[in-house]
Chain A
C-alpha cells in the first residue's frame, strides 16, 4: 500500500482534543503516521498519494456498540456483507455484534464461527458480544473466561434483562473478578408485560398497552445497588427516559463507576411520531415523550451518557406488517447514525466535539479497544464527511438488506463522503 496524505481536512479527534484544519498522513502499513497543521512528507512526495478533503471533517472511524448482523440464522434480514456496506456508507468502521442469532452466540464454537465468518465476509472491525446467560434464558451465566479468551468483547442478552436479582448478583460478582464487560438491557418484565409503547396520552389514544418508564428505572436502580457490592464493568445498553437519567445522575454523583448508552432513535424521535400505528417506530425500550427526549440530550451535555448507538435491528417485512402489538421492535440505523447525530449538532442541542466523542473514543474506552482515535501509530480508520450536505432517506437506497427504517423520508443534513479502514479507501 502506498503512503497516503489526507490534505486540507478539518480534523476532529476528541481523544486528543484536536479540532483543527490540517492533514493526516497514513503510512504504508495503514497506520497513522502524523497529523495536524504541519505534517511533513518524509520521502519524495510523488510516492505519496494525495487526497484533498476540501475542508470536510475527518473523524476517527465510528464505533457502533449495538448492531445486529443476522448471521447465523437470520441471513434474510442481514448478513456480514450487507452490514459491512451499510456500516461503511455510514462511516462506521467498528461494530459490536449482538449475540441473539440462531443459534445463539453463547458457547465457544459459535464464537469461532462468528469470528471466522466476520473475517471472511467483512473488512469491518467486528467485535462480537456473547450472551450473558446460556440460551438467553436469564438463569445460568455463560463461560465468561473462555469466551473472553476467544475474542468476545462483551456479554449481553439483547433486548432481555436478567430478572432474577440473585442471578444478576452472581453474574456481577463473577464478572468483576474476570474483568469482563456486562451490558444490560434494562426492563422489568412484570411492569412491561404486553406493553409496546410509552405510557401517556398517545398510548391511551391508540389503545395500546404501555411500558411505564419505571420498568426501566427499577432495573437500573437494582443493578446499581448490586454494583456497590460487586464492582464489575457494567454498561447500560440503552436508556430512554428522564427518570433513568435522574437515577444515573444520583449514582454518578456518588462516585459509582458504570457507563450508559442511548440509541440515536431516542434522541431523534418521540412517541408522537408513531402516528397511525407505524410499526417501524416500535422500539425496545419504547420511544418516550418529547420531555424524555430532551432530558436525554441534556444528559449527554452533562456527561451522564457515554455512548450513542444505532441499535441497528434489521427486520423483514413480515415481522413489521402486523398489528402494532404483534410487530417486531427496532429499526435499521447503522448507515444513518452519523447524519442523525449531526442533526443534534445542527439544531444546537449538543456541541459537535461532544457528539463525536460519544461515537468514537468513548465506546473504545468502554470496550477497551485501541480504536476511536487518530493517535499516531493507531490504525487509520477514518471517516470523512460533509456536515451540511442535505439528503432524504429512501430505505430502498440504504445498503442494509432490510428496509425497516424508522426515519424513512426524513430530510437529513450531513453525509459520509469517504471511509478508510486501516488506511484503505473502502467507501466513497
Chain B
C-alpha cells in the first residue's frame, strides 16, 4: 500500500525528535544510516567515543522503564556524554510540581539533550516548547515511541536488507500502543505494507486512516507477511472489559508456530519487550533464533539511540 500523505496534526520542529509523524523520509534514513555505523562499534572491544564529550544528557522518566532507559543511558555514555537519569515516577510530580516547572528547572542546568518518557500523550511536545535543548521522545502515552520504531526498522533492514516492498503485521493491543503507532508511520514511510491485527476492543477508531489494513483474524492478517511484530498485552487489559481472559486471548491472538505458518515461509518475529510468554507469544517461538529477532532488537536499540543522540545534540 502506498504511503498516505495527510495534513498532519502534529508539527515536529526539526530540533527535537518528538515522533515519526513529521519526520521526513530523509531524516529517518539519516538516523538509520548513522546507526549502522554504531552496530560494529558496539560489537567491538572499545566501545567508547568522545562525540558527545562535555555534553549533558538528562533522562527524564516519568514512567517506569527498564530497557528503554538503560538503552538511552548506555547510548549516551558510549558517546562520551555525561548522563543523568531521573526517575520522576516517585519524585517532584508527587509534590505537585507541573511538567512545565520541572522543564524550567532542568533547563536552568543547561543540558544539551533531554530524553523524556511520560504517561501523557503530547507531554514531550509541551516540554520541548519550554527548554533550549533537544528533546527526544522515549515514549509518550499511547502516541509515539519513535526510537523503538527506528530500531525495529534497523533490525529489519539488517536481516532483510530493505523495508520497501515488505509486508509487515503488527498484532496485539494496537489501541493502547505507542510502539504500534510509530511503527505504522515509519514502516509506511519506508515503503512497507502494514497490517494491524487486534481484537475489536483493542483496535483504535479510524486506524485505517493511518494507511494500514485492519484485521481481527490472525489467519487473514498474517497472510504472506514477512515480519510479524507482536505487542505486549498490559496486565490490566487481560481481563475485564477489553478481553474475557488471558487464555482466550492466547487462543485467538497469541503467536504460535501454527499461526506463524499463515505468514510467509521466511517470516521473522519481533517483540518490543518485555514479553508475556504464553499470552501473546509462544515461549519456544520467542527463543527460536531462526525466527525471533527479539535479542537483536535490543542490541540495535543502543545503536539507534546513539545515532539519535548524536544527530539531535547541538
Contact = CB atoms under 8 A, between A and B. Distances in A.
Check if A and B associate.
Answer: yes
Contact of A207 (B141, B205, B206, B207): B141
In terms of DSSP, what is the predominant structure of the interface of chain A? loop
B210 A324 contact: no
Nearest to A325: B120
Interface stretch (B122-130, B270-278, B291-299): B122-130
A206 interface: yes
A274 interface: yes
B122 A324 contact: yes
Contacts of B100: 321-322
A325 B204 CA distance: 18
A315 to B, nearest CB: 14
B108 interface: no
Contacts of A208: 121-122, 141-143
Contact of A323 (B11, B122, B144): B122
Interface string B30-43: 00000000000000
B10 A204 contact: no
Contacts of A326: 120
A201 interface: yes
Interface in B83-106: 98-100
Nearest to B145: A207
Contacts of A205: 8-10, 21, 143, 181, 210
Interface residues of B, number: 28
Contacts of B178: 207
A200 B205 contact: yes
Nearest to A209: B142
Given A201-B209, A324-B122, A207 B9 contact: no
A272 B144 contact: no
A201 B11 contact: no
Contacts of B204: 203-204
Contact of B125 (A200, A277, A321, A325): A277
Contact of B126 (A201, A210, A274, A323): A323
A204 B207 contact: yes
A227 B120 CA distance: 40
Contacts, number: 81
Contacts of B120: 323-326
B118 interface: yes
A324 B125 CA distance: 10
B73 interface: no
Contact of A277 (B8, B122, B142, B181): B122
Contact of A204 (B11, B125, B205): B205
A206 B121 contact: yes
Contacts of B10: 205-206, 275-277
Interface in A92-123: none
A318 B98 contact: yes
B141 A325 contact: yes
A276 B123 CA distance: 11
A202 interface: yes
Interface string B1-24: 000000011110000000001000
Interface in A195-234: 199-208, 210
Contacts of A207: 121-122, 140-144, 178, 181
A203 B205 contact: yes
Nearest to B205: A199
Contacts of A199: 205
Interface string B140-173: 1111100000000000000000000000000000
Interface in A158-208: 199-208
Nearest to B241: A190
Nearest to B175: A204
Contacts of B141: 207-208, 325
Nearest to A210: B205
Contact of B121 (A201, A272, A323): A323
Contacts of A201: 205-206, 209-210
A149 B181 CA distance: 57
Contacts of A277: 10, 121-122, 125-126
Contacts of A321: 98, 100, 126
A321 B99 CA distance: 9
Nearest to A202: B9
A229 B126 CA distance: 50
Contacts of A276: 9-11, 122, 125
A275 B143 CA distance: 14
B162 to A, nearest CB: 27
A125 B189 CA distance: 58
Contacts of A324: 120-122
Given A207-B121, A275-B9, A323 B99 contact: yes
A231 to B, nearest CB: 36
Interface in A284-342: 318, 321-326
Interface in A115-168: none
A202 B210 CA distance: 10
A330 to B, nearest CB: 18
Nearest to A273: B9
B119 to A, nearest CB: 9
A208 to B, nearest CB: 5
Contacts of A318: 98
A323 B181 contact: no
A200 B9 contact: no
A130 to B, nearest CB: 32
10 contacts: A200-B205, A205-B10, A205-B210, A206-B10, A208-B142, A277-B121, A277-B125, A322-B100, A324-B120, A326-B120
Interface of A: 199-208, 210, 272, 274-277, 318, 321-326
The 3 closest A-B pairs by CB, nearest first: A207-B143, A323-B120, A207-B121
Given A204-B207, A275-B9, 10 more contacts: A201-B206, A202-B9, A205-B8, A205-B9, A205-B181, A208-B122, A275-B10, A277-B122, A323-B99, A324-B120
Interface of B: 8-11, 21, 98-100, 118, 120-123, 125-126, 140-144, 178, 181, 204-207, 209-210
